[in-house]
Each structure stands twice: as structure tokens, then as C-alpha cells.
Structure 1
Amino acid sequence: MPEPMSRRTLLRTVAGGAAAVATGAAATATPAHAAGSRVPGAVRELEEKIKSAMAAYGIPGVSYGLRYRGRDYLGGFGVTDVSAPQAVTGETAFRIASTTKPFTGTAVMRLAERGRIDLDAPVRRYLPDFRTSDEAASRRVTVRHLLNHSAGWLGDVFLDTGDGDDALARYVAAMATVPQLTAPGTVFSYNNAAFAVAGRVIEVVTGKSYEQAVRDLILGPLRLSQTAFRTSELPGVRIASGHDYDGAPGEVPLPRSINAVGGLYSTARDQLRWARYHLGDGSPLLTRRSLRAMRWRPGPGGTLFVELDGAGVSWMLRPTAEGPRVVQHGGDWPGHHSGFLFVPERDFALTVLTNAESGPLLTAELFSSDWALSRFAGLHNLPARPQVLSPAQLAPYEGRYVADQIGFGGERATLAYELAGADGRLILSYEGQNVAVLPFYRKDYALVWGPDGSDAHSRADFVRNPDGTVGWLRLGGRLYRRTPSAPTALRTTSTPPRLLPVTLPYPAVS
């Protein structure tokens, strides 16, 4: 969900610069298939890759679900909690964070199919008092804009408005002062707050709490019995605890006000069932036409770790060199990081859940790089050959780039990066320390490498102003406003930093 670039986001973006932290947890494996059974070599390779990453990155527990060649595979490795270890299985619940968003989108689509919501109607048809700091944008923004990340206002708003049934209503009312960055429908910028607004639309239309509406519209009909907003609703299900970079367990509560943004817990088994549903397994819920419509008409394109055609109704729509589109989402909350994707044209799906802050190192390898797509679906990312540019070509991109977040208590935090050209590429720095290298591979699009030049399996791009000048850096899906400035002197290190050297007063979600 969030950003200015949080520790989590830059760890994922600069995956090559992170070091492993030992947790002391044994990497026990509980794959769903019996030992010695005839399992495709690709599935064994996936399991070995997961176990190797757990050892290298200090991840206590990982669960996965895979749909491949008409069969389902499920497995778990490691432990739920290093201080009270239980074996992770395919039926261990992790917080899935932003992978909740497609549940919100699917709930809206169910209501749209019933004629109760028009995706292209203004939000004010359902929330007459809705407004941000920009009155014109508040009038124009539509439900579809909420769901394809083009609403245009500051997206990382994590205001905690309590645990009552009015939490979401109070959150949306408090958005009156949230700044508008771009006009609705014009620019992709990952927007957590927009999904909270969508959750409030669901509440008003159904007359129920957001959580109850999702239970009634989705979880119950699809029998997703291992998916819930509270762990107390999952009796008998093992719950994975989040772990910090040092391996210490610890949970960061997620405010009820952003449950529509990232509040669900789920298991690999339920996530695989969810994937099969969206692949079109025939379960009665949405018509096939509506399922496909969630993947049609993408909004503005850009990057969110990978290059995107844009977002559909809550799904990230990712192009491939071969043509078939990847439908994708991921989830990030302190201590819980996961990935989820499927390819309808290949009957392929993959979900991986982790319980460590170093989890993005594994999810980057499986969900941003080519490895899983090529091994299981014969697909690849759009080609990206790094280029060396002249100082004159790099100069228009140099400067200071700034973004904000609004925290649990309404406090604002600002994150500022510097970009300066060196050796034909851009160097991203924070407080004088190099944290990433950005080599361009085509106009306005760059790879994101670790400060040592290692591949972080990530991409970023630049958004231009109406006059053609560079106005924004889009990194981790968020917009950083450019303020031209003289390049600062950059300090290089022989050993790249393990963590982004910034601590925000609240966690980021993605």
C-alpha cells in the first residue's frame, strides 16, 4: 500500500543491497504432495528457490500455492514465530495486506453487476459530502478512478479513526485536507486512500459495515473459510507472526479505517482458491463477462516495481514480451510481505506469503523478475537493455524529489531523494548516501539497481508536466515531485546499506 518510500519499499526496490539476518528458525518443509510423489521438476525448483531464499534472507516462514498445468500445489516451510515456533503449512494464515484490494474491487463489481454501483459515476453519487482539498477533482473523480489508482490525491493516508463501525466514515470525512497531486484519470499513482473511499461506497450502498459486506458478497459464497479481517475469526488456524529485520517477532496493528486497503489475513490454500475463481473456475459469483471486465480498460500506465499497462478494477495489469497479460497484486505490511499473480491465458497462478521484513527479497525474485513467469508460463517481462546516457541527457532528470505520507495520528512525514547523473546513469541518494542506481532502458523508464549495481528486479519511470519537463519520479508506484536543484556530492560505500536509512513514524503498506 503506501509510501514516501518506506524501509519496506526501498528494500524491495533495492533488493540487491540487503544483507541476510539469521533467525535461528529451522526451515522445516510441509509440501502438500507426498515425498517421492511424481511432482514436476518446476515445482521442485520453486520449493528449492523458496528454501534457499529463506536461508539467505533470514525469513522464518513461507507458504505458497501454485496452479500449474491443470493441477494445484500447496506447501509451507519454516515456522510461524521464532519465539513460539509451529510449522508453517499451506493452511497457515498470514496478513495479505494490499492483496485485500482485489477483494474490495470484486465486492464493488458484484454491486455493479446488480446495478447498485456504476463504475463510471462520480463518487459523489454515493458519497454526496466527499471531498479532498481540490473541489473540482472531488466533483469529477469516479468509482473507476478509485479502483485503478488514478484518483490523483495523496495516496498514503493511514489515519487511525478508531475501531468502531464509523471508522471508515470518519476516515473519509477527514480526507477534506488531503492534497490533490494530479487530475483524476490522468496519472497512475498507487493510492491506498482511494480504496478506503471505495470501501465506504460499499458500506453506503449495502447498509452494512465494509467487513460484513465482504463476508456476504465474497468470503461466504466462495467458502474462503481461512480468510478474515481478525485472527479471532480463524479458530484452529495457525497464524504467522511478523518479524522485523533483526528476526524479532512483532505485530503492527492495522487500523480498521484501512481494512478495505489491506486488512485481510489469508492462507495459501484460500489464496489459490481465490486465484482459481478469477481464472474462471465456474464458481457462481460474478459472470465471466464481469470477471473479464475487471481486467479490461486499464487506467493510465506506468510502473509498480514492474512495468504496467495500468490497473483495471483493482488488478495490476502487466504486459509481457509474448503478449499474454499478467494479472497481479502484492501485499506489504510490517513483517508480512506477499505476492499474487495469475495468467488467464496459461491457467497459471502463484501466491507466496512470508512473515519477515526481508520477505520482499524473495517476492521480488518471484513476482518482479522473469523467473516464475518463464518457468511456469513461458512468458517474460518487456525487454529492458540498460543504456549509458550523456550528462546533457541526464540533466533534465536531476534534482530533488519529494513525497509525503499521513500517519496514524494525522502527522505528516516527508521523504526526499536526490538524483544526480554519474557514469551515464542516475544515482539515487538519501541524505548524501547512495541507495540505488537507475540506468535508463528507454525514454523516461529506468531499471532500479542496488547501489552496488546488483539487479533489484524493479523498474521506475518519470512523469512529465504538460510543458514537457520532468515533473515526477514514480518509484514503488508513488509520485515524487521534482524540485530542480544543484546535484549534491554523493557518498559511495563499498558495502551497500542493508536498510534504507530512514525511519518513518508509521509503517507503509503496499
Structure 2
Amino acid sequence: MILGELVEKYDIPGAQVAVLDNGDIHDDAAGVLSTRTRVETTTDSVFKVGSITKLWTATLVQQLVLEGALDLDRPVRSYLPDFRLKDREAADTITARHLLTHTSGIAPNHFTDTGGNIDAIEKFVATLADEEHLLPPGTLHSYSNTGFTVLGRLVEVLRDRHFHDVLRERLITPLGLKAIATDTYEAILHRTAIGHVKTTPTTKWAVSYKTTPSGSHLAMSAHELLTFVHHHLTDPTLAPLRDHQLDVPDFGGGVVAWGLGWMRYPGGIVGHTGVSKGQKAFLRVDPSANRAVAVLTNSTNGDPLAHDVFTAAGLDPTPIPLPPTNPEPVDDRMCGTYRNPLHDITLTRTSLTYQPRNELAASFRGTTPVEVVKLKDDAIITTGTHEVMSLIGSDEHGRAKYLHNGAAAYRIA
């Protein structure tokens, strides 16, 4: 099935696909950049790649390691003396490796707005001194956008340049990339995709400048993304970033382990996904075959299209999780209340309820209980949206210690 047919089948405004095969990149585009303007999607249009940006940030970090300017296992405070967290011991021990593998214990998101100026990342990291710390460093994988923003600040300090400038000087210009934008000011110079909630255009293109290193602004074509991937596959000094660092709990995306920035899938496949303001991006790479596929969509509905493309390209797709045919109630050991910085999450044998801990959290989720069933011995799945969560660890009473959906929440009752 050609891309245009897939866009129509899944009611997605627009998409790009690129395939890297032994150094050659083949790309295609279909649909429109916005359902409002109806501008045609072309192969040189730019789509937001969301958290795939983290691979670019990890690459900038690895360059510093190779130059001897950074040791991944030295505390971040060795390089950022002003780095502060509410948990002083954590601030003293967190390393760049913790940040790259999402094991720092820093909360997933920190919502203080530090403006749109070039110093927003510096100001943002300074606000973390009052942020509740989730877990002791090294305890558990817990996805953290904030942690990657700290890495971005580390890059700024060690390069004595702003993050956007380092991106362009160290990666974009040397790789000869053209269809790429590092911020909204550059995006307007391109044929730029607008995000959609299903088929309704979003009202904002990007979130705060402060989170650029974790995925708020970077946009590019699928072809340029695979040019970056080809650089990784042909430069042996970047291969260690793909090496296994730790296994991770099942949170429904098919990810089984983590490298230094890279997600690891079964069969030696690596990659990442990205979500940003109504756009979804998907990347899968088979290093052993020198093959990669990138799928960029401007809709929250992008997952099934990406699944079909990965299947057609010969890469094992991530299975879409579904509730069991004969579901069972949640085990008693899983039930209880778990806390993260935004919510207290109560799990019963049949439902999951989010209780917001502040006004900001109240704007993200409702408090209506969501039906859940047991997926397997250590995981549950919501029956409506098919969101997977793992229940891991064991306390002195034999109960699960953490609820994990990519980020962790710890048991309080």
C-alpha cells in the first residue's frame, strides 16, 4: 500500500516516510501540512520530531566525551557547580549517564516558564532547586524530559555556546542538512507541518524554548533525519550510544531496554519516538543491516500508519497492545495508591483514578475512574485507550512498589 493510501486509510492529514538502505535514502510524502491551509506535503517539508531530539542531544554529549571534556560517570555538578535539586544528595550524585538513561530520578516534566529568550535553558535548570525529586539516582528507569534539558545545559556550558548554536555548528552544518529548523523562527522559512488532534489543527506549534534539548522545537524532513542516522551508522565512535545500558519495564511501546539516549527493541533494533503538539514521529534502525525507517506524521493518529510502514519495510513492528480476550481483574498486590509530582494514582482491581496534586495537574487529566484489566503478571492495560503500565518491585508486604508507564510513581498506600 502506498503512502497516500495509508494517509487516507487512517485519516491522517499528512506524512513523510524515508528508508535508508545501505547508504541510499528513498523518501515519499503524502497529504497536506494543515487541514486549514491545504498546503501539500512534500519530501522537503519539515515535521516536528519531538523526543527524537534526544538522540541529537545525546550525540552532542558523546562528542564532548570523545574530546575528553566530559566523563559520563562524574557528577553533573563537577561541570555545573550551580546545579541544585530539592534533594541535595541526588544533586551531588547524578551523572550524565543517569540523565542519558533516564535513571536520575528527576521528575518527567518541570513546568516553570523561563521565557523564550536564548537564556531560557540556563534559567530553567536554575529553577530545579525547588523541584520534588522522584527517586534516588540509579533506582529505576523513569523517563525524564527535564533530565535531558539538564544535558542541554551541560552542552551549553562546556561549549560556551547556546544549545541551538551548538546543534547547528556540530551537527546540522557538518552533515549538510537543509530541510531542518531548530526553532520557530527557522520553521517559518520552510514548508512546515502543523500538528493536529486527529484532523483538527492545534493552536500552538511549539512549547517552551527551555525544553529544546528534550524535544520541543526541532523539526526536519524524514530524509534529513535519516542522514543523521546514516552518520551514526558510519561513525564507530557513536556506536556506544546504542549499547545496552539497562532493561526497562513494559509500558506498551515495545521498548525492552535503553542505551545512551537510544531506545532498544527486540532483535537488535534501536530507535526512538517523538510526540509534540499534535505531531508524532517514529524511527527504527537495524544497525546490523545498515537499514533504517523514519515516519513523520502531523496527527495524534500516526501510530497505525507507522506500524504498517515498519511492517512493509521488513522491520519487526512494535505490536499494538490490546486487552486479553478473557481479561482478569488486577492482582491485589498491584492495588494501592502511587504518587508522582502531578498526581496520586489509585489502582483497584478494576479501575485507575488520577487525583491531581495541583491546579496544573487538574488541567491534564480528569478524575473519572478508568477501567483496567490485568495484561500479564506484572502489567495492566486500560480497556479504552490501551495504555500499558507495569507494577514492579516488592515491599515488605509483597506489594508492588512502583507503577510505571514510562515514568515511575511510587507507592504511598
What is the TM-score normalised by the length of structure 2?
0.87
1:444 aligns with 2:378: yes
Matched residue, 1:359: 302
Q: 2:239 aligns with which of 292, 304, 307?
A: 292
- Residue type of the alignment partner of 1:482: R
Matched residue, 1:160: 113
3-state DSSP of counterpart to 1:303 = coil
CA separation in 2, counterparts of 1:137 and 1:236? 42
For residue 463 of structure 1, report the CA deviation from its aligned partner.
2.5
3-state DSSP of counterpart to 2:74 = coil
CA separation in 2, counterparts of 1:252 and 1:435? 33
Matched residue, 1:376: 314
Label 1:78 to 1:184 Cα distance change in 2 as closer, same or farther (>3 A): same
Indicate if the aligned counterparts of 1:226 and 1:234 stay in contact, CA closer than 8 A. no
For residue 309 of structure 1, report the CA deviation from its aligned partner.
4.1
Q: Deviations over 1:275-318 (max 9, x none)?
A: 222222xxxxxx40x22110124135223433444322211122
* Matched ranges for 1:120-269 at <5 A: 120-233=73-186, 237-245=190-198, 247-262=200-215, 263-269=217-223
For residue 234 of structure 1, report the CA deviation from its aligned partner.
5.3
Q: 2:225 aligns with which of 271, 286, 289?
A: 271
1:83 aligns with 2:20: no
Indicate if the aligned counterparts of 1:168 and 1:196 stay in contact, CA closer than 8 A. yes
CA separation in 2, counterparts of 1:59 and 1:95? 15
Q: Deviations over 1:185-213 (max 9, x none)?
A: 22101000111100111011011001111
CA separation in 2, counterparts of 1:247 and 1:357? 10
Indicate if the aligned counterparts of 2:46 and 2:181 stay in contact, CA closer than 8 A. no
Matched residue, 1:64: 17
Matched residue, 2:411: 482
- Residue type of the alignment partner of 1:421: R
3-state DSSP of counterpart to 1:212 = helix
Indicate if the aligned counterparts of 2:23 and 2:230 stay in contact, CA closer than 8 A. no
Label 1:429 to 1:245 Cα distance change in 2 as closer, same or farther (>3 A): farther
CA separation in 2, counterparts of 1:80 and 1:389? 41
- Over the aligned positions, Cα root-mean-square deviation in angstroms equals 2.9
For residue 129 of structure 1, report the CA deviation from its aligned partner.
1.8
Matched residue, 1:343: 286
CA separation in 2, counterparts of 1:346 and 1:419? 43
3-state DSSP of counterpart to 1:294 = helix
Q: 1:116 aligns with which of 69, 80, 90?
A: 69
Q: 2:348 aligns with which of 410, 415, 420?
A: 420
Number of residue pairs matched? Answer: 399
CA separation in 2, counterparts of 1:129 and 1:66? 44
Q: 1:471 aligns with which of 398, 401, 404?
A: 401
Indicate if the aligned counterparts of 1:185 and 1:300 stay in contact, CA closer than 8 A. no
For residue 325 of structure 1, report the CA deviation from its aligned partner.
1.4
CA separation in 1, counterparts of 2:120 and 2:69? 23
Label 1:231 to 1:382 Cα distance change in 2 as closer, same or farther (>3 A): closer
- Residue type of the alignment partner of 1:291: L
For residue 76 of structure 1, report the CA deviation from its aligned partner.
0.9
3-state DSSP of counterpart to 2:42 = coil
Q: Deviations over 1:59-88 (max 9, x none)?
A: 211111122476532111110111211111
CA separation in 1, counterparts of 2:320 and 2:281? 23
1:317 aligns with 2:271: no
Matched residue, 1:26: none
CA separation in 2, counterparts of 1:347 and 1:435? 43
- Residue type of the alignment partner of 2:156: E
1:328 aligns with 2:271: yes
- Residue type of the alignment partner of 1:305: G
For residue 116 of structure 1, report the CA deviation from its aligned partner.
0.7
Matched residue, 1:403: 340
- Residue type of the alignment partner of 1:157: H
Q: Deviations over 1:448-494 (max 9, x none)?
A: 3543xx9x4x643122255453122111x11133344xxxxxxxxxx
For residue 136 of structure 1, report the CA deviation from its aligned partner.
0.9
For residue 428 of structure 1, report the CA deviation from its aligned partner.
3.8
For residue 109 of structure 1, report the CA deviation from its aligned partner.
0.3
For residue 232 of structure 1, report the CA deviation from its aligned partner.
3.5
CA separation in 2, counterparts of 1:120 and 1:144? 6
3-state DSSP of counterpart to 1:329 = strand
CA separation in 2, counterparts of 1:71 and 1:218? 20
3-state DSSP of counterpart to 1:421 = coil
* Bigger RCO (CA 8 Å, 6+ sep): 1
- Residue type of the alignment partner of 1:118: D
For residue 386 of structure 1, report the CA deviation from its aligned partner.
5.4
3-state DSSP of counterpart to 1:205 = helix
CA separation in 2, counterparts of 1:219 and 1:466? 48
Label 1:112 to 1:272 Cα distance change in 2 as closer, same or farther (>3 A): same
Of 330-339 and 394-403, deviating more is: 394-403
3-state DSSP of counterpart to 1:150 = coil
* Structure 2 unaligned spans of 5+: 355-366
